[in-house]
């Protein structure tokens, strides 16, 4: 049996719902903390994923009824106040682009709901894990994680992410050829329905017609700041929605920032329909009538500039070279909005 350590550091107008619009009801009724909360609230969890993990690197045909092919494994959560927690789960490799380019793909964890409830957790049971992808990919993972953390700082209507230390116990022994003893990084992402529950909302999956301008403007300026064009509202690409009880319009939830300029991954390229040549070139994807509507958001960001930059400055896992590059990229955004506007 081969055992190795792997570090995962688990980031337009008001719309009135019509009779024909349907919000997806939150079927989760449990009020207990989730297994994600257990990880999220611990300073540094150590996760051990055990089983035949060779499935994560094999080319396996998809189930006809599923987008992912799941396989059994066990997860041990250590560094918890009450001692190690061991729980069975099923795992699958995920991601459209990353599955084809990564030596080690992103992973999806899927727990049995009844098992979670028996162990005192709520029923939120499916989580995405972003891995290091390639052996030298630590900085890229942390850069994407920090993009999530910046948006967490700007709004609570965002996916929480958590850094964790992870070990793999692969009974097949095949993964030993893919890794060295160096530390690799990654993070775990909050489940969609769990986020909706936390924000006293439900997932919204009807056609998006109009949205609140302030929420839309905040997301657009954030995406411009990090240089992300890999999203599309009308197609629901890398954007989900929640309907909050005290807001008459659905709220956008952006995610998946690996193609943004702030990360600047070597495999990232703009979509052919976007008139830029590299992901580090910024392009404003704004469908409002006037850029004046973005002025208030820009002013708020300028006032919050040092706090935003400190999210990157204080990240100890980044190399100095990557940290400097990210700070320079963010500062170029602030230089622009402070002098020229957006």
Token reading at 181: 């003893």
pLDDT above 80 for 12: no
Distance between CA atoms of 207 and 169, rounded to whole angstroms?
44
Is-contact 240 271, C-beta < 8 A?
Answer: no
DSSP 261: T
273 or 80, higher pLDDT: 273
Stretch 303-331: mean pLDDT, rounded?
97
In the predicted model, what is the mean pLDDT of residues 308-315? 98
**Under DSSP, is residue 151 helix (H, G, I), strand (E, B) or coil?**
helix
Q: Which of 135, 147, 124, 170 is nearest to 260 (CA)?
A: 147
| Phi, psi torsion values for 292, nearest 5 degrees | -60, -25
Among positive and negative, which fits the CA dihedral 76, 77, 78, 84? negative
Is it the case that residue 2 has pLDDT exceeding 50? no
Going by pLDDT thresholds of 50, 70 and 90, the confidence category of residue 185 is confident
Contact 31, 107 (CB under 8 A): no
Q: Looking at the predicted structure, is the pLDDT value of residue 266 above 70?
A: yes
What is the average pLDDT score of the chain?
Answer: 85
Phi, psi of 198 (to 5 degrees): -60, -35
288 vs 21 pLDDT, higher one: 288
Q: Binning pLDDT at 50, 70 and 90, where does residue 163 land?
A: confident
How many other C-beta atoms can be found within 10 angstroms of the C-beta atom of residue 84? 11
CB 170, CB 215: distance < 8 Å:
no
| Cβ atoms 56, 91 nearer than 8 A | yes
- In angstroms, the CA 179 to CA 168 distance is 11
Name every residue whose Cβ is closer than 8 Å to that of residue 213 and which is 6 or more positions away in sequence: 12, 13, 288, 293
- Residue tagged 């094999």 (tokens): 58
φ, ψ for residue 217, nearest 5 deg: -65, -40
Angle, CA of 265, 268 and 271, to the nearest 5°: 155
Strand order in the sheet with 71-78: 2-8, 164-170, 46-51, 71-78, 85-93, 107-110, 126-130, 187-189, 161-162
- Given a contact cutoff of 8 angstroms between Cβ atoms, the answer to whether 36 and 124 are in contact is yes
Task: Write down the pLDDT at residue 177.
Answer: 63
* SS (HEC) of 193-243: HHHHHHCCEEEECCCCCCCCHHHHHHHHHHHHHHCCCCCECCCCECEEEEE
For residue range 120-149, list pLDDT tens digits in order: 999 999 999 998 887 777 899 999 999 999
The answer for residues whose C-beta is within 8 angstroms of residue 156's C-beta and 6 or more apart is 199
Helix axes 305-313, 320-339, angle to 10 degrees: 170
């Amino acid at each position: 049996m081969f055992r190795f350590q792997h570090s995962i550091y688990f980031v337009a107008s008001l719309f009135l719902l019509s009779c024909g619009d349907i919000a997806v009801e939150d079927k989760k009724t449990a009020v207990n903390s989730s297994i994600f909360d257990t990880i999220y609230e611990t300073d540094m969890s150590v996760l051990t994923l055990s089983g035949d993990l060779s499935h994560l690197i094999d080319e396996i045909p998809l189930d006809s009824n599923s987008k992912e092919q799941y396989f059994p494994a066990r997860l041990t959560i250590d560094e918890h106040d009450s001692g190690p927690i061991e729980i069975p789960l099923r795992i699958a490799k995920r991601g459209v682009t990353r599955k084809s380019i990564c030596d080690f793909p992103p992973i999806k964890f899927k727990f049995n709901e009844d098992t979670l409830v028996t162990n005192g957790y709520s029923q939120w049971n499916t989580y995405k894990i972003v891995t290091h992808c390639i052996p030298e990919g630590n900085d890229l993972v942390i850069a994407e994680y920090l993009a999530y953390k910046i948006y967490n700082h700007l709004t609570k209507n965002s996916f929480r992410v958590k850094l964790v230390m992870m070990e793999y116990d692969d009974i097949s022994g095949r993964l030993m050829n893919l890794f060295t003893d160096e530390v690799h990084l990654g993070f775990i992402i909050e489940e969609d329905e769990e986020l909706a529950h936390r924000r006293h909302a439900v997932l919204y999956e009807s056609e998006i017609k109009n949205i609140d301008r302030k929420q839309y403007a905040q997301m657009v300026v954030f995406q411009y700041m990090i240089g992300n064009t890999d999203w599309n509202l009308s197609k629901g690409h890398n954007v989900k929605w929640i309907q909050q009880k005290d807001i008459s319009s659905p709220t956008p939830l952006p995610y998946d920032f690996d193609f943004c300029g702030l990360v600047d991954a070597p495999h990232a390229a703009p979509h052919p329909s976007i008139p830029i040549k590299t992901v580090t070139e910024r392009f404003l994807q704004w469908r409002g009538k006037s850029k004046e509507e973005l002025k208030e958001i820009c002013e708020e960001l300028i006032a919050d500039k040092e706090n935003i930059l400190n999210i990157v400055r204080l990240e100890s896992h980044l190399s100095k070279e990557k940290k400097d590059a990210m700070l320079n990229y963010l500062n170029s955004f602030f230089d622009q909005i402070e002098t020229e506007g957006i």
